[in-house]
Structure 1
Amino acid sequence: MEILNKRFSRVMKALYFCSKAKHQSLEDMKGILKKEIEELQMEESVDQDFPQEKFFLLRSKVNEYNCTLARLSTWWRQRAKARWIGEGDTNSNFFHAFANGCRNGNLIKQIKDGMGYLVEEPERIREIFTEFFNRKWRLRSCCLQGWPPNPKSLRQSESEFLSSDFRLEELELVIKELGNNVAPGVDGITYSSFIKAYWKTIGEDVWKAIELFFSSGKMCSKWKETLVVLILKISSPLTHSNFRPISLCLSIYKIVAKMLLNILS
């Protein structure tokens, strides 16, 4: 399990720096190609005997320019996390604004305290949310006596089925069922796009780690790490109750949970 975690970590670190460098390279290439295309188009418009060699050169430059735009669209799609971008929209100022707007929209700039006063200091905002969720999730005592009996029980065949070992085919089924371009987990991995796309390369290592978990009954502590994120219930929220907390899990944890869900269903 630890080996898989370290490999994922190294890959994500390398991809991060590669992505930044590649994006700048694509932007530069886009500008150069656009300038070359404009020059060739201008020459074609004034030259009645435009050479065929330059005509083919113009076509190749246009194709290369379109490919560059497509690659930039992929980069912005990953930033914007908009699923509907895959339905035909190309790289544009709208998606630049969408990606940057998501970042700005996630910033909590002000909130009301317990007295109803607006607070804008970041440290005080953190304290208000911490106090609210500490009260909400505090440890409570529960009476376990007097519960009605539950006569229902599993049949022998059902019990044996649930106790049987997981198979590689069940893991592969989960991978195939995953949607595309889902937001990454805490580890930075999109458990749909990345793991599905490179399954032939990483599949054996992922299966060994998951098989070890199911056989030993012990999960790596790293897999259980979560990041609590606040989701807006309404637009322009001003109170802590207007936010809904969700936990962002690691990619492998999501896959394990999906495998368990499939067998229970």
Structure 2
Amino acid sequence: MEVKGSLDKDSWGPNPFQHEVSHPQGLSVGIVTLWNPEKFLLAQSSSDQGYLIIKGIWRASKENYAFVNVYTPNDPNRRQALWRKLEREINSGCDTCWIVLGDFNAVRSPLERLVLARKLKNTKEKIKQWRKLKTEENRKKIEEISNKVNKIDLKAEDAQPYESDMTIRNELLKELREFESKRLMALKQKSRCKWALEGDKNFGFFHALINKNIRSQRLTDINVNGIWTSDPEKSILEAAISLEEVKTAVWKCVAEKVPGPDGFTFAFIKNQWDIIGGDIFLAIKEFEKTRRIDRGCNSSFIILVPKITHPNTLDNIRPINLICCLYKIISKVLAERLKVVIDKLIIPT
């Protein structure tokens, strides 16, 4: 973890500051403590998993102060061990004023938890708004700086550039690198989290780190009572969907069932397969590639069909879910593949 030079502008403001950092250990987060050196003179610092201590003199009163920045774990046993360790630290400095602050992962009463939940929710919304505003500001700044650099480059193509222009250009490029550095820091943070990023513009290195977490948790084989699904079976499940496979799934669907929101029955699809079969196959291949079904193809209607002439209770009504043909075909293809291994995954009763 590094504290970049932009931190004083974004979080601390224009006032001078110094900092100490406790780096992440295992699953614990990193901790950073910042202070104004005009107010507090640092003498020493120490840290361990879950806390960071800075000791020194409060300039106004000339007294010894120790600030403990804490991030306590959620596990009760680890939390108690942390408090015992801090208790020994505090008892060792009798002539020092101790101030403990941070995230204690605890509340004093259930009512406080409700208040805290509301505060956290409001804070989250404010952070989202701030992040959105900051992102837009940075985008405009980057665009403005890039335009200035382009103007200098165009000017240099027509004539020998002035030294002052090149100096300005170097400063502008430095600003662009700072913005890029912030973006890389954000990507590093994301790569440490178990996030499945979709559509993010990402450098290959960090994208690989994120995908590595996903791959490490992917289910590749299943062991049931000592029996593993074999490679040939796995290859059947993962094989590309073929046109013949789609056609077989269509012909296994009942022809005259009530149509879904798209208004088509399988009788129509079978009758016109030579004309529309290719388009249906391309739509299913697109699903195979993107793992997504277009919203219009994923719609469904729930119809309440009466069992008697004048139904007046739920027992007299039978719900029917009407879904589009494309959704049914995809489900049938996947179901047919699962038939290959389903008998080894379900214990007979």
Q: What TM-score, normalized to structure 1?
A: 0.40
| Higher RCO (CA-CA < 8 Å; seq separation 6+) | 1
Q: Greater strand percent: which structure?
A: 2
Q: What TM-score, normalized to structure 2?
A: 0.31
